Amino acid sequence: MKKNSKEVNRRDFLKITSRFTAATIFIGLGGSELFAANHENHNEISIPTVTLNNGIKMPRLGFGTNTLVDAVGVRSVSEAISVGYRLIDTAHIYGNEAAVGEGIRLSGIDRKKLFVTSKLWVDFAGYEKTKKAFETSIKKLGVDYLDLYLIHRPRGDVKGSWQAMEELVAAGKIRAIGVSNFDPEQLKELMSYAKIVPAINQIETNVFLQESILYPFLKGSATQMEAWSPLAAGRSGIFSNPTLAAIGKKYEKSIAQVCLRWHYQRGVIAIPRSSQKAHMIENLNIFDFELTASDMQTIASMDINTTQFPEWK
């Protein structure tokens, strides 16, 4: 399915966002601070961070948990933390917040060293329901605050949800709030009443769906782009793609590493999922090589502007 390529009035959006960003710090990507993580083999893995529009730091590479439920979820999250991940992405709809919480506790790491994201499902849109859904999520996770809470999809009473989330920030229960799957028009609508500028827009993006409108739009705003399905969920033959394999060969890197490095060089946060420890480690090892401008151009030509999940539209 082709993505909607509606023209965007970027100037209007920026006009609105500037009212709110004046009082916030937006340092952008490339912050020098790192999320230092002690590898279980005692090597230090340092994941670069981005400073969000409210000044808080977020790792630029994290761990996705969709479909990792029950015992697999517990083990995967604990292993991911043990090999160096500090950003963990979950959601009510994944049905694994309790498992993710258990994985965090099993890892033995101080919760404050982690960056935990969850998301508000569409059934709980609206002021009151959002407050309750948030409490349920943190209870299942066994934490007393979230680093990031996202509106999962732009459905229902987004305004009521956003107001509730702003109040949860003020109450010290959430460090940053954002959205997911919002197009520029939906962001503009949110910005017409928001007191807090969304820190993040988490969207599907990968080599086959490069978001040629939303990507530059977010680049020019105070909202950081985060990639879901950064590896195209393993679909469309991505792990046997000859173009990506040829690029990887030059650096002795895998296709997954080429893709994740590509996101990193575009300034997009990626949250690859894996249930396999070897893949988790592989996906972290992207900070010791650099794609050339020509590699980046070759990958740009792979864009077919196509979702891997037409059934979700």
Ligand X SMILES: NC(=O)c1ccc[n+]([C@@H]2O[C@H](COP(=O)([O-])OP(=O)(O)OC[C@H]3O[C@@H](n4cnc5c(N)ncnc54)[C@H](OP(=O)(O)O)[C@@H]3O)[C@@H](O)[C@H]2O)c1
Binding residues for substrate: 152
239 binds ligand X (CB under 6 A): yes
Which residue's beta carbon is nearest to the bound ligand X? Answer: 64
276 binds ligand X (CB under 6 A): yes
Among the listed residues 157, 159, 149, the one whose alpha carbon sits nearest the alpha carbon of residue 179: 149
Q: Using the Cα atoms of residue 36, residue 27, residue 57 and residue 189 in order, give the sign of their dihedral.
A: negative
Q: Check if 94 is active-site.
A: yes
Rounded Cα distance between 231 and 261, Å, is 11
* Secondary element (H or E) of residue 70: helix 70-83
180 binds ligand X (CB under 6 A): yes
Question: How many CB atoms within 10 Å of residue 189?
Answer: 16
The binder of ligand X chosen from 97, 183, 211, 282 (CB under 6 A): 282
Q: Give the tokens for residue 18.
A: 């500037």
The binder of ligand X chosen from 141, 273, 291, 307 (CB under 6 A): 273
The binder of ligand X chosen from 275, 285, 298, 305 (CB under 6 A): 275
Rounded Cα distance between 301 and 5, Å, is 18
231 binds ligand X (CB under 6 A): yes
> What part of residues 40-59 is at the interface with ligand X (CB under 6 A)?
none
> What part of residues 7-26 is at the interface with ligand X (CB under 6 A)?
none
Residues 278-288 as b or e (16 or more Cβ within 10 Å = b): eebbbbbbbbe
Are the C-beta atoms of 299 and 266 separated by less than 8 Å? no
| CB closer to ligand X, 102 vs 282 | 282
Question: How many CB atoms within 10 Å of residue 178?
Answer: 24
89 binds ligand X (CB under 6 A): yes
64 binds ligand X (CB under 6 A): yes
208 binds ligand X (CB under 6 A): no
Least distance from ligand X to the Cβ atom of residue 269, Å: 11
> What part of residues 119-178 is at the interface with ligand X (CB under 6 A)?
152
What are the angstrom distances between the C-alpha of 267 and each of 39, 50, 218, 260?
Answer: 25, 9, 11, 11
Applying CB under 6 A, the site for ligand X has a residue count of 27
The stretch near ligand X (CB under 6 A) out of 136-144, 185-193, 233-241, 288-296 is: 233-241
79 binds ligand X (CB under 6 A): no
Least distance from ligand X to the Cβ atom of residue 62, Å: 8
Rounded Cα distance between 161 and 177, Å, is 11
Least distance from ligand X to the Cβ atom of residue 252, Å: 14
Rounded Cα distance between 172 and 161, Å, is 17
The binder of ligand X chosen from 134, 149, 228, 262 (CB under 6 A): 228
295 binds ligand X (CB under 6 A): no
114 binds ligand X (CB under 6 A): no
Among the listed residues 248, 263, 254, 258, the one whose alpha carbon sits nearest the alpha carbon of residue 209: 263
Catalytic residues: 94
- Residues within the interface to ligand X (CB under 6 A): 64-66, 89, 152, 180-181, 202, 228-234, 239, 254, 256, 271-276, 279, 282-283
